Amino acid sequence: MHLTVSIGWVGAVLAYLGLGVAAVTSERESTIRGAWIAMELIGWWVIVPLALASLLTGVVMALGTKWGLIRYYWVLISFVLTTFATSILLLHMPDVSTVADRARAARGSQLEGLGGDLFHAGVGLAVLLFVLSLNIAKPPGLTRYGWRRQASPRGS
């Protein structure tokens, strides 16, 4: 489940980024307006649920496996970055809705200045791909808690 929602999150951000590029590069009013409306819909109905599901299933999986949530640096870093990305997403989505509302009402040259939200989507995609690669590589390295836990008489 965690893998499915996490990869889905990456795919949804790619779709959002594609719409952002269309909004920036197009001169057609209908394309710019449609891109922003679609970005809002994908954001709230696909990206946000996948981000929350990824965070939740990641925590459940970490707590239910030998990796733990704070035993290994790669798990801890993945958790922190996923929490950060989800938080930024939740804080940013109202701005996307505001711009989408402006796109619905704008006419002509007013639409051209809306941009395409490439920064947030691009940085978000980079963070998600870093977390993905970290989770595939699983680099060694126990945290202090992990070392103490491993050295305790009860083991892990």
Which pair of structure tokens corresponds to residue 54?
């990824």
- Does the pLDDT at position 153 exceed 80? no
Q: pLDDT tens for residues 55-65?
A: 999 999 999 98
Structural domain count of the chain: 1
Contact of 82 with 135, CB cutoff 8 Å: no
pTM tops 0.85, yes or no: yes
Contact of 129 with 85, CB cutoff 8 Å: no
CA distance 39 to 19: 7
The closest of 44, 20, 45, 47 to 34, measured between CA atoms, is 20
- Does the pLDDT at position 112 exceed 80? no
Q: pLDDT tens for residues 80-96?
A: 999 999 999 999 999 99
Flag whether 64 is in a domain.
yes
Domain around 82: 2-151
Flag whether 50 is in a domain.
yes
- Does the pLDDT at position 155 exceed 80? no
Flag whether 83 is in a domain.
yes
Q: pLDDT tens for residues 3-35?
A: 999 999 999 999 999 999 999 999 899 999 999
Flag whether 156 is in a domain.
no
Flag whether 117 is in a domain.
yes
SS3 at position 115: coil
Mean pLDDT, the chain, rounded, equals 93
